Amino acid sequence: MTNYILVFLAVFSPTLALAAPMGPGGTDVWDMVWSAGLVVQGVLLILVVFSVVSWGLILSKLKGLRDARKQNQEFEALFWNAGSLSAAQGQTRHLSASPLAGLFEVAYSELGKVMRLRQGEPGLPTGVMPNLKRALDRAQAAESTRLGRAVTFLATTANTAPFIGLFGTVWGIMDAFRSIGATGAANLATVAPGIAEALVATATGLFAAIPAVVFYNHFNRKLVVLESEMESFSQDFLNLVERDLMRRRGPAVEAVRPAELQGGQV
C-alpha cells in the first residue's frame, strides 16, 4: 500500500516534495510516508483518492460549462434569427451541450403535442400556456441537475479532507508519544520525526481541500449565470407564444417567429 501512496503523491502532490527539506536521516516527505504507521498511510491514500477524483471532476466541469456557455451563444444567434420555430428547431438540434437548446426542444415538442389536439381550429389553443410553462419548468430543473451533477463532491472534499488529514495527524502524534513512553527518551530529537510524519497527513488534506473549495465556488457562479439565462429564455419563449395566441393566426408553429420578439415587432 505504501508504494501506491508514494506513486500518487509523486504525481499529484509535487508541492509536498518541494516543500520538504531533502537531507539524510529520513527528513524528506517520502521517507516520512514510508515510515508512517498503517493508519496514517491509509489516511494518505484516502486523501490522494479524494484529490484525484476532485481534479478529474474539475477538468470535466471546466470543459462542460465552457461548452454550455459557447453553445448557448450559438443557440441564441440561430434562434432569434430563425424564420419559424420549426426552422429554429432544425438549426439548433446539434447543440446538445446547450441548456437553452434543451429547453427549446422540450417546449417545441410540447407545443407540437398541443397543436395536434386543436382539431383544425386556427391559432393556438387557449390552454397551451400553462402546458408550456410546466414543460419549461421541468426542462429547466432537468438541465440544472445535469449541469450541476457531481459538483457537490467538491464541497464534500473541501469540508472533509482537512478533518481526515487532521485525524491522521492526531493518530500519528499519538504514535509518536507512545514511542516516547516506550523508549523513555523525552527530547525533541526523539519526538520530531514522528510528529513530522503525522503532519504530512494535514498537508495532504489541505492540498485536496483548497482546489476543491476554489472550484466549487467558481462552478456555482457559472451555474447561477446559466440558470439565469434559462429563466430568461423561458420567459421570452412564453411571451413569443402568447403573442401568437393573441394574433390567432395559423398555423401556429409556423406563425411564431422568434425574430419578431427580438425586434419588437407586433
Determine contact, residues 153/22, Cβ cutoff 8 Å: no
pLDDT, one tens digit per residue, over 246-259 is 765 545 444 455 65
Q: If residue 188 lies in a helix (H) or strand (E), which one and from where to where?
A: helix 188-247
Sign for the pseudo-dihedral over CA of 58, 60, 63, 65: negative
pLDDT, one tens digit per residue, over 193-230 is 677 777 888 889 999 999 999 999 999 999 999 999 99
pLDDT, one tens digit per residue, over 74-114 is 999 999 888 888 888 888 889 989 999 999 999 988 888 87
Using CA atoms of 60, 65, 67, 72 in order, give the dihedral in degrees to the nearest 10.
160
Instruction: Answer whether residue 2 shows pLDDT above 60.
Output: no
pTM for this model (two decimals): 0.74
Distances 46 to 13, 41, 84, 97, 198 between C-alpha atoms, Å: 14, 9, 55, 33, 15
Task: Output the pLDDT for position 255.
Answer: 47
Task: Output the pLDDT for position 222.
Answer: 95
- What's the whole-number average pLDDT of the chain? 78
pLDDT, one tens digit per residue, over 41-71 is 888 899 999 999 999 999 999 999 999 999 9
Instruction: Answer whether residue 143 shows pLDDT above 90.
Output: yes
Taking phi first (over 0 means left), then psi (-120 to 50 degrees means alpha), and beta for anything else, what does residue 74 get? alpha
Task: Output the pLDDT for position 186.
Answer: 62
Bigger pLDDT: 12 or 84?
84
